[in-house]
Amino acid sequence: MNLAKKVVIVTTGGTIAMRYDPFSQSVVPAVTGPELVAAVPPLAEVGPVEVVEYANLPSPHITPAMMFDIARMLDVILARPEVAGVVVTHGTDTLEETAFLLDLVLKSDKPVCLTAAMRSSAEISPDGPKNILCAVRTAFSASAAGQGVLVVVNEEIHAAREVTKTHSANPKTFASPFWGPVGYVDEDRVIFRRQSLGREKIQPQALVEDVHLIKLVAGSDDFFFRCLVEKRVRGIVVEGFGRGNVPPAVVPGIEAALAAGIPVVLTTRVHGGRVLDVYGYEGGVIPLKNMGVLLAGEMSGQKARLKLMLALGLAENAADLARYFERP
Ligand code: ASP
């Protein structure tokens, strides 16, 4: 029993806080923060917890501005000396985005663990209570400090930068493709097996929200780029193919965006590996990079979009912005 310190559980909603409603015949937000904790009696053996209800939203309703707001709130909570760490309960759909944004902006090195559930509380074998228990145990664990923001689900611990939702329904949905978990939660202890290297911090006063993601498919053209250029958005992230290559008909749209002063960041729609200037054909990354397109390394489109929102909040000019994306 850890008497000195407490873990603060910040609830934001998601299936973990939902119940089946027979009237509407659907799963809807229904469970309060204190009810969530009350459903996990073994927490009393782990240590004191405090519950802070941020929201009770399905995670498709969570915006980057809310993620940033949650970060500001966590900075204040984590600065309290009696707080050992924080657990954030969240819907699974956008959990990896909130986790990654928090990883980039949070100031403290104390453990921050996001957790969730794929089954709502009234289903057979709900996964939420065990996930909350494991997340709180990880947040109390000294070995979790300095590991960055973690996602604790199914007794596995994943790094925010690497984790993604891989299945629409199966409780074993979170995985870190090509890397695997950084650790796991066993009956008697929390075990870390490796560290996620290459983490970074981008800590602006505010983020720039008007940044958009375009996913490319065979035969894509520049239609969506032209819409965004006309709208004068602040940034565009592109999910290209493989090493980052794009169809030739997309290139005029990228040129138009760059000519309008809109930064374009390139990612890949595949689950592993970096985008890189290997191919020189029309739409290949060599000409794209020469044009001024920024490369996002191994990062998924949805995470690179959040990174660009934060970097735009700090960067003074295009050269400065490039520093966030061209780092080795
Ligand atoms: N749609 C839900 C959400 O993300 C899914 C979940 O929580 O598992 O809020």
Domain boundaries, the chain: 6-192, 211-323
Mean pLDDT of 184-191: 97
Number of the ligand 1 atom closest to the C-alpha atom of 95: 4
Residue 328 has pLDDT above 70, yes or no: no
Residue 318 has pLDDT above 90, yes or no: no
> Is the CB of 92 inside a 6 Å radius of any atom of ligand 1?
yes
The residue nearest atom 3 of ligand 1, judged by CA position, is 91
How many Å apart are CA 266 and CA 170, to the nearest integer?
30
Please give the distance, rounded to the nearest whole angstrom, from the Cα atom of residue 164 to the centre of ligand 1: 14
| CATH H superfamily, domain 6-192 | L-asparaginase, N-terminal domain (3.40.50.1170)
> Is the CB of 93 inside a 6 Å radius of any atom of ligand 1?
yes
Phi, psi of 54 (to 5 degrees): -85, -45
Q: Residue 301: enclosing H or E segment and its boundaries?
A: helix 301-312
Q: What is the DSSP string of 200-264?
A: -----SS----EEEEE--TT--SHHHHHHHHTT-SEEEEEEBTTTB--GGGHHHHHHHHHTT--E
CATH (residue range 211-323):
3.40.50.40
Residue 128 has pLDDT above 90, yes or no: yes
Residues with a catalytic annotation lie at 15
Same fold, 6-192 and 211-323: yes
> Would you state the pLDDT for residue 31?
83
Give the model confidence (pLDDT) of 14-28 as tens digits: 998 888 888 888 888
Place of tokens 């075990």: 191
Give the model confidence (pLDDT) of 32-50 as tens digits: 888 888 899 999 999 999 9
Range list of H helices, 39-183: 43-46, 64-78, 95-105, 128-140
How many Å apart are CA 245 and CA 227, to the nearest integer?
21
Q: Residue 308: enclosing H or E segment and its boundaries?
A: helix 301-312
Pocket test for ligand 1, best of 36, 56, 92 (most atoms within 8 A of CB): 92
Place of tokens 């996620």: 196
Please give the distance, rounded to the nearest whole angstrom, from the Cα atom of residue 16 to the centre of ligand 1: 8
Please give the distance, rounded to the nearest whole angstrom, from the Cα atom of residue 15 to the centre of ligand 1: 5
Please give the distance, rounded to the nearest whole angstrom, from the Cα atom of residue 219 to the centre of ligand 1: 32
Model-level pTM?
0.96
| Angle subtended at Cα 181 by Cα 197 and Cα 242, rounded to the nearest 5 degrees | 70
The residue nearest atom 4 of ligand 1, judged by CA position, is 91
